[in-house]
Structure 1
Amino acid sequence: MFGAERTRNLLGPVDPARSVSVAPPPVSARELIDRAGGTEMVAGRRRVRPSRRLVLTAGTLAVAAGAVAVLQPFDGPAPDAPGGPGNSAGLVLVPVAYQFDADPPEAGPQLRALADKIKDAEYDHRGGRYMYHHTKLWGDPVMTSADGRHHVAFASESKLWQAADGTGNQIRTQLEPQYPDQESRDYWQRESIGRPAATGTPAPAVTPLSPEELRPLSADPSELRERLKVEYGAGAASKWVGTLYGQYVVPRATRAAVLRVLADVPGFRWRGQVTDRAGRNGVAVTFDDREHDQQSLLIFDPKTGELLAHELLTLSPVRISSYEVILDVAWTNQPG
């Protein structure tokens, strides 16, 4: 079991909050369990990033009976019906299909070629006070059965307006439960038998953002290498690319520089043409971290070089651990 101090020790210098006092989570473990059991709750007010895994530690107890839970660090469509895993069937997630599945080539040459040919994005010709991001995420947190085999999490949709001083608004909507495999879906549906159905879906949570100074973006390779933590390898770089694109409206010069920086990081493999979870055409690279049984996936727009999606998968067996899809990025003068 991980605690906060052990987690920080493991992260070391790559922990972005190592000098910050972290307040207790605004959404309790019990509230998360109640949501999964079909009880209507108000969505938590927090910024969303793949970070935690919820583990049931009292066996396969009925959620309504109050199962004990602990939070551990997590290394990953509109709702059809209200309720938790048993009251709304939810989706079984399928890994993205790669053009080059077996023996993929090194990604460096392809990433450099992509950097050389990318075009302007629509927002490159516009401006505004706020950076707008519309994203969909699954995997924060994941609820896991006591035996560690069966997993479920609620997808969430986030719309974020943030100014250079950190202020703005976030609107987060909880969506349907999703599962990494059919066995998990079947398990959570069995566990929900006899539980009361929810009376409605949680309302969107509107969160004002507190001031924080956002470091301006640069296309300087040395600065980008530091931002993306490439000294810690391709796994860390994948994570921080996702963070960069999830927070900033990245201009063309910086997009090209990011691709060139990643091209020099050992371990990335070229997966060729893919289709992301929003149905968009992209090109993909992956990094296999065999030590941690994990694969990082980055999907880029082949025309503009924008990041479309970032995913984490387990390798044995292959299944989704988390995903974030960046649906829209823009400049605007009005916060939502």
Structure 2
Amino acid sequence: MADELELLRHANPVPSDDPRFHDRPLDRPAEARLDALTRAGRPRPDRPRRAPTLGRLLDGLRPRRPRRSRHWAFGLGAAAAVGAVVLTLTLSGPTTVPAVAAPRPLVVAPGSAALPLDRLAGLAAASDDVLRLRQGTHVQSWSLSMTSGPGARPPVTLPEERVVRWAADGSHTELVVATDPRHPGRPVVTDADPVPRTVQDGHVLSRRTYPPSWSDAPPRAEPPHDAARLRAYLDEIDRINPMGTDELLDAVAELLDNWTLGSRETTALARVLADAPGLRPVGAVTDRLGRPGQAYVYDDTARSVRRMLILDQTTGAVLGLEDTVTRADPEYGVEAGAVMSYRAWLR
């Protein structure tokens, strides 16, 4: 505390022994120093905001209940009418390349049969695939970077691929690469301050090694393969809010950001999802990595968000999760129908 107080004393625009301090206005130099001091901690109005949860991304909509701080929930940007809006972002030089701001939301195949989750759980239990649980993850994401306020720029899609691998000693590595499998070999938009920029496909954004961690709390703890215990495990990931379907989907995403599930855990998860209120089957889809699956939709009317969970129709494995806004947020330039979040998990 002493260090902070000393800093404040040095920053004092008018020393205590200055005769002007008592009941007199500050002179111009003092006003300038005071103004600089009070502005020092303010956030920059044009700083990009990448929220850790979809609720914060949609500050203009109904605010979400407080949640524990989490790693950034991957998302997908969108533009007006969900069309592919072209932006020109500058490389480190005079060359410019067009960057597609928003692909369209996933569409259910017309006339496809909707497979109920309880039936899918039965198919998963009978599957011949015998996959083992593995700590670590491999996820492809499209995340949204956007600003608000005067001079705000349009939302921009940031495609990334993240691979997390754990070692026997409890340490783990995380590799994040800028890449978009929809456009292999083309420059990729990545986040930068104050504006996004483009980098070459496969550009390493970060490579980190973390020391051993022996946490025994979810999602670090090994997930169970019994449906009832897995439900309790997912509930423990978010201890702040009651476990509704929206919170369940968030917990599932966090689980998959830490673990690659085996066959038994996948079956248990399908049974947990089968009991989720409001999560309804809508038919077959092809995900953004070209994999066939079954789509299950939950409408969060309170936050005006439509959430689509995509599962492998044979094994029950979660392939992806897509969140779409059903009401516009003018503050951030987000239109109704915009895909705000998409991530695809791989083995």
Q: Give the TM-score taking structure 1 as reference length.
A: 0.60
Kept after mapping to 2: 8 A contact 1:106/1:267: no
Is the alpha carbon distance of 1:283 and 1:105 closer, same or farther for their aligned partners in structure 2, counting shifts above 3 Å? closer
Structure 2 counterpart of 1:119, one-letter code = D
Shift of 1:302: 1.6
Structure 1 counterpart of 2:211, one-letter code = S
Is the alpha carbon distance of 1:272 and 1:205 closer, same or farther for their aligned partners in structure 2, counting shifts above 3 Å? same
**SS of corresponding position for 1:304:** coil
Structure 2 counterpart of 1:255, one-letter code = T
Kept after mapping to 1: 8 A contact 2:322/2:341: yes
Q: For residues 234-313 of structure 1, what are the structure 2 equivalents within 5 Å?
A: 234-313=245-324
- What is the rounded CA distance, in whole Å, between the counterparts of 1:132 and 1:276 in structure 2? 22
Shift of 1:151: 1.6
- What is the rounded CA distance, in whole Å, between the counterparts of 1:306 and 1:199 in structure 2? 32
Moved more, 144-153 or 289-298: 144-153
Matching residue of 2:337: 318
Structure 2 counterpart of 1:227, one-letter code = Y
1:83 aligns with one of 81, 84, 91: 91
Structure 2 counterpart of 1:249, one-letter code = T
Identity rate, percent: 23
Structure 2 counterpart of 1:142, one-letter code = S
1:220 aligns with one of 205, 215, 226: 226
Moved more, 277-286 or 130-139: 130-139
- What is the rounded CA distance, in whole Å, between the counterparts of 1:287 and 1:149 in structure 2? 31
Cα offsets for 1:278-330 (capped at 9, x unmatched): 00111121111011011122111122221111121112322210111113x2x
Kept after mapping to 1: 8 A contact 2:286/2:292: yes
**SS of corresponding position for 2:224:** coil
Matching residue of 1:169: 173
Shift of 1:172: 0.7
1:50 aligns with one of 65, 70, 74: 74
- What is the rounded CA distance, in whole Å, between the counterparts of 2:168 and 2:253 in structure 1? 19
- Max radius of gyration: which structure? 2
Shift of 1:165: 6.2
Is the alpha carbon distance of 1:95 and 1:165 closer, same or farther for their aligned partners in structure 2, counting shifts above 3 Å? farther
Structure 1 counterpart of 2:209, one-letter code = P
The question of 1:98 aligning with 2:98 is answered no
Shift of 1:49: 3.2
Matching residue of 2:156: 152
Is the alpha carbon distance of 1:296 and 1:217 closer, same or farther for their aligned partners in structure 2, counting shifts above 3 Å? same
**SS of corresponding position for 2:257:** helix
- What is the rounded CA distance, in whole Å, between the counterparts of 1:135 and 1:283 in structure 2? 19
Structure 2 counterpart of 1:89, one-letter code = A
Structure 1 counterpart of 2:222, one-letter code = P
**SS of corresponding position for 1:240:** helix
Cα offsets for 1:109-145 (capped at 9, x unmatched): 4444444433325x43xx8xx7453221112x52145
Matching residue of 1:56: none
**SS of corresponding position for 2:260:** coil
Structure 2 counterpart of 1:49, one-letter code = A
Matching residue of 1:207: 208
Cα offsets for 1:13-50 (capped at 9, x unmatched): x5266xxxxxxxxxxxxxxxxxxxxxxxxxxxxx6533
Shift of 1:52: 12
Kept after mapping to 1: 8 A contact 2:124/2:314: no
**SS of corresponding position for 1:228:** helix
Is the alpha carbon distance of 1:109 and 1:286 closer, same or farther for their aligned partners in structure 2, counting shifts above 3 Å? same
Matching residue of 1:333: none
Structure 1 counterpart of 2:232, one-letter code = E
- What is the rounded CA distance, in whole Å, between the counterparts of 1:290 and 1:196 in structure 2? 32
| Structure 1 residue ranges without an equivalent (≥5) | 18-46, 54-80, 179-187, 189-194, 330-336
Cα offsets for 1:228-250 (capped at 9, x unmatched): 33942111111111221221121
Shift of 1:175: 3.5
Is the alpha carbon distance of 1:217 and 1:164 closer, same or farther for their aligned partners in structure 2, counting shifts above 3 Å? farther
Shift of 1:164: 6.8
Kept after mapping to 2: 8 A contact 1:284/1:300: yes
Structure 1 counterpart of 2:104, one-letter code = V
Structure 1 counterpart of 2:341, one-letter code = S
Is the alpha carbon distance of 1:134 and 1:52 closer, same or farther for their aligned partners in structure 2, counting shifts above 3 Å? closer
Is the alpha carbon distance of 1:204 and 1:90 closer, same or farther for their aligned partners in structure 2, counting shifts above 3 Å? same
| Structure 2 residue ranges without an equivalent (≥5) | 1-42, 44-48, 57-62, 78-88, 183-188, 190-194, 328-335
Structure 2 counterpart of 1:117, one-letter code = A
